[in-house]
With several copies, the nearest count.
Chain A
């Protein structure tokens, strides 16, 4: 009965020439999003994925169980020496991510252009 979370993977190249893997989420990020968040992340080939960018533009609702899934992804990414960034969070969820400290391990950008320019 809960909204399903959708996830899509895009491969882009930053202006600096680096390959960036964008995970675009749509729907809720909640306890039901395990497949969409961790499952999708785990399909990425570890050897060629060094920069991961999370797109939250189409996400309206994130709860603490959803944030825990993002943290689990950050743990796996840290173990694989990948860097994770994010964009598209509302001002409210930017505040929430900052409060729980996620921003220490996943840099936030206002939009995709700003993110790519910095990567």
Chain B
């Protein structure tokens, strides 16, 4: 249990839908300790949940033998969250969902997770794992962001 950066918290979850709620709770508790406002904690919770669901579903393909890693690091006034899976990562960033096209059956009703992540946090970056494994999404949410 040594050599962990003292301001980081790590969680490891099974690849089972529902367990994203565990990561949400852990992230919310870290953000609360850091002094984030309730409203930003809600944003973070949804972003972390969507990132974990994608890691479980797309990255680890619901294989319960694989786990999802969540690393929460507080750096100055920001919280960085990495959600790591064992997949090959994203091929392309999907287009912004279009509700009109969805309602008219021209687009899958799904496909809103990544859009929500980008809309709710200050930074979101998807990184492909070097060896076709350990891909991750990196989110950053900052304390006291003025514009909201």
Give residues in A with beta carbon < 8 Å to B: 1-3, 30-32, 61, 63-65, 67-69, 71-72, 74-75, 78, 90-92, 96, 99-102, 104-105
Stretch at the interface among B45-53, B123-131, B136-144: B45-53
B109 touches A75 (CB 8 A): yes
Are the CB atoms of A92 and B17 closer together than 8 Å? no
A-B contact count (CB 8 A): 75
A15–chain B nearest beta-carbon distance, Å: 29
Number of interface residues of B (CB under 8 A): 32
Q: How far is the CA of A2 from the CA of B56 in the complex (A)?
A: 14
Say what secondary structure dominates the interface of chain A: helix
Chain B residues with Cβ under 8 A from A104's Cβ?
99-100
Given A63-B53, A68-B112, A99-B116, A1:B97 Cβ within 8 A: no
Known A-B contacts A63-B53, A75-B105; A101 and B99 likewise in contact (beta carbons under 8 Å): yes
Whether, in the assembled complex, B75 has its beta carbon less than 8 Å from a beta carbon of chain A, the answer is no
Instruction: Tell whether B61 is near chain A: CB-to-CB under 8 Å.
Output: no
Contact in complex: A102, B21 (CB < 8 Å): no
B43 close to A99 (CB less than 8 A):
no
